[in-house]
Amino acid sequence: MNVGVVGNPNYPDLGAFLATLQQKASSVGIKLYTEERIQTLWPAPASDGAPPPLSDAPPGDLDCLITLGGDGTLLRGARLLNGADTPILGLNLGRVGFLTTAAPDTLDWVLDSIARRAYTTEPRLALQSAITGKGAKSGRVEPLVLNDVVVHKGGVARVLRLKVSVDGDEVAQYSADGIIVSTPTGSTAYSMSAGGPIVVPTVDAIVVTAICPHTLAVRPLVLPATAVVTIQPIPPWTDEVLVSFDGQVGQPMQPGERLEVRRAARPIHLIRLGPEGFFKRLRKKLHWGDLSDRTRK
């Protein structure tokens, strides 16, 4: 079995954890492949040395991807797969890790479950974006995202004027700090912080949420997953406009360009271990409905 490993090198003792992972993976017949940014953190070649890079994995023959970190590491791992059907298992080394499904102290269980394929997968809607229009080079296709695509202002914090359309039909011109287009998975991330709704991951939908809109007449929109959302900056608010993908990589938009966001051709698959469901994760990790600070009088 071939398993890829993506990790956040900023976590302390990641090297020690990789050594343990390598030893235990070998004992259950798992061959590991590593992303290059953590290749030097694996054990020195006293035995097998560092696993080969992900680029050496047989095309289409990666059975699983393990991400070591928090939600950001999982999102980066999803982009590295670039639309492949490889399922992702997030092992949380951070604080919240809402998308992850395991912790370091469950490593034996994780590897045994992977080796036996004793897990379930959740297909998650992903978004594909393209920047088109004046100056765009034949439509720049941007990275696949699991959480959200955000149009916002670069440099000095200023309100933008943005025209938003759905399937070619103009919704409105927004005066706001930006616009978030999110998946159901991303509805518990930036969109939620900006006042957007929480959408159960099994719902086929796209959410459009304005960031700090300069009006009381704007509310988040929940659209069918088939919708194509177009966002175009309106002159003279077209300078230093940026598009961010999952909050990790970005691209400037030039005057005259527009962003088109649509459902990706294939979903991203997240591995789940055990019976924990979405609402239990809400209660456990986001303290949904937590009334523990209230005492009965």
Other CB atoms within 10 Å distance of the CB of residue 156: 6
Kindly report the pTM of this predicted structure. Answer: 0.91
Amino acid identity of residue 203, one-letter, is V
Please state, in angstroms and rounded to a whole number, the distance separating the CA atoms of residues 104 and 85.
Answer: 25
Give Cα separations from 237 to 136, 228, 244, 254, 261 (angstroms).
18, 23, 18, 11, 20
- What are the pLDDT tens digits along the chain (297 aa)? 999 999 999 988 899 999 999 999 999 999 999 999 999 999 866 455 678 888 888 767 899 999 999 999 999 999 999 888 999 999 999 788 899 999 999 999 999 999 999 999 999 999 999 999 876 555 567 889 999 999 999 877 678 999 999 999 999 999 999 999 999 999 999 999 999 999 999 999 999 999 999 988 899 999 999 999 999 999 887 888 999 999 999 889 988 999 999 999 999 999 999 888 899 999 988 988 888 777 665
Delimit the domains of the chain by residue range: 2-124+268-285, 127-263
Give Cα separations from 258 to 64, 130, 228 (angstroms).
36, 8, 12
* CATH architecture assignment, domain 127-263: Sandwich (2.60)
Domain 2-124+268-285: top CATH class: alpha beta
- Of the candidates 127, 125, 73, 81, the one whose C-alpha atom is nearest the C-alpha of residue 100 is 73
Please state, in angstroms and rounded to a whole number, the distance separating the CA atoms of residues 262 and 227.
Answer: 6
Catalytic residue flag (residue 71): yes
Tell me how many degrees the CA angle 236-237-240 measures, rounded to the nearest 5.
Answer: 120
Q: Which of 71, 148, 177, 246 is catalytic?
A: 71
Contact 223, 208 (CB under 8 A): yes
